[in-house]
Chain A
Amino acid sequence: MIINLWAGIILASLAVYSWKIIGFLVPSSVLNRPIVSRTAALLTVALLSALLGIQGFTENSSFVIDARLPALAVGAILLFLRVPFIVMVIAAAATAALWRLFFG
């Protein structure tokens, strides 16, 4: 099914908002069960990790290792050193940009 980008933006925004308003409306006993909170936490980890893999190691639907790998290594070291998010992101971008400048 092809969805127009504008419609997608509005639908996705409403979909994300739906969780927030549901949390205000439902009794806390429903969402506070361990299986529900554990599954939600793992779902978040899995989606972020999947997106990291695709953004970091694929291009045009194939597996690619390029300047993004050293960039992510720099990012991981800076996260380990508890550097602020924005500094880490800029350092990763700079690493990839310089890598491409020098190694093509």
Chain B
Amino acid sequence: MAKSALISTSMGVGLATGLYGISFGALSVASGLDVLQTQVLSLLMFSGGSQFAFIGVIAASGIGGVGVGAAIVSAWLLGIRNGFYAVRMAPILNRIGLAKLLPALLTIDESTAVAAAQADEGDQKKGFWYTGLAVFVFWNIATLIGAFLGDAIGDPKAWGLDAAAAAAFLGLIWPRLVERQSLAVAAIAMVIAVSLTPALPAGVPVLVAGAVAIAFGALNLLAVKVK
């Protein structure tokens, strides 16, 4: 792909992702974080699914009790897919020692996807860097705008922000519901999490649902048999 086409793809992905950073910023403030705390999540954690998970658990549990601990573990477990992206990107980026630190931060869904879509290794490397940096810049600017908006609008429920948070999770899970096993796990996880919510401290039901998924994965339950 020509360099200019690659840059415009990366900017487009960055802009689109950034737009949903506005919803992250607003929802984060609505769940009880302040503007600076929200911004630090986007700067240091820099992984949408984990960030939404962190503020989602805080919103449900508050910051007392096991809430913050459960939020940490939820965010951590949701970040696992980035490890697999890093495995794919490491030989392409070919960085040594401390030079791995920055590309590791930028290893997310979007940078890996754009890199994977390129034909030769030079373009894969460029696609990763352009997209990773574009998303980082747009995501952080958008987070700041969203956080100030969220701070300004008052009652989050009157604006439907609680529904927006649920819709954000729906949008994140949607492309992953590709076959019977993931659909079954999604359904079971939701039933477990909702039905355990009255009985267990907030945040814990999410982790129980995650444990069930690990059992499904390890035993390969309900998988479509390959003929």
Contacts and interface: CB of A to CB of B under 8 A. Distances in A.
A12 B75 CA distance: 6
Given A32-B87, A68-B166, A51 B16 contact: no
Query: Top 10 A-B pairs ranked by shortest CB distance?
Result: A23-B86, A39-B217, A96-B160, A46-B213, A96-B163, A92-B167, A50-B193, A71-B163, A93-B160, A16-B79
B104 A21 contact: yes
A71 B160 contact: yes
Nearest to A22: B83
A37 B217 CA distance: 9
Interface residues of A, number: 76
A72 B203 CA distance: 21
B84 A15 contact: no
A54 to B, nearest CB: 5
Contact of A13 (B44, B197, B205): B44
A69 to B, nearest CB: 9
B22 interface: yes
Interface in B173-202: 173-174, 176-177, 181-182, 185-195, 197-198, 202
B53 A47 contact: yes
Secondary structure of the B side of the interface?
A: helix
B50 A12 contact: yes
Contacts of B214: 39, 42-43
A79 B177 CA distance: 12
11 contacts: A9-B41, A11-B72, A23-B86, A23-B104, A40-B83, A44-B78, A45-B173, A45-B186, A46-B185, A49-B189, A86-B19
Contact of B159 (A52, A79, A93): A93
Name which of B44, B85, B161, B163 has the most chain A CB atoms within 10 A of its CB: B163
Contact of B60 (A5, A19, A38, A58): A58
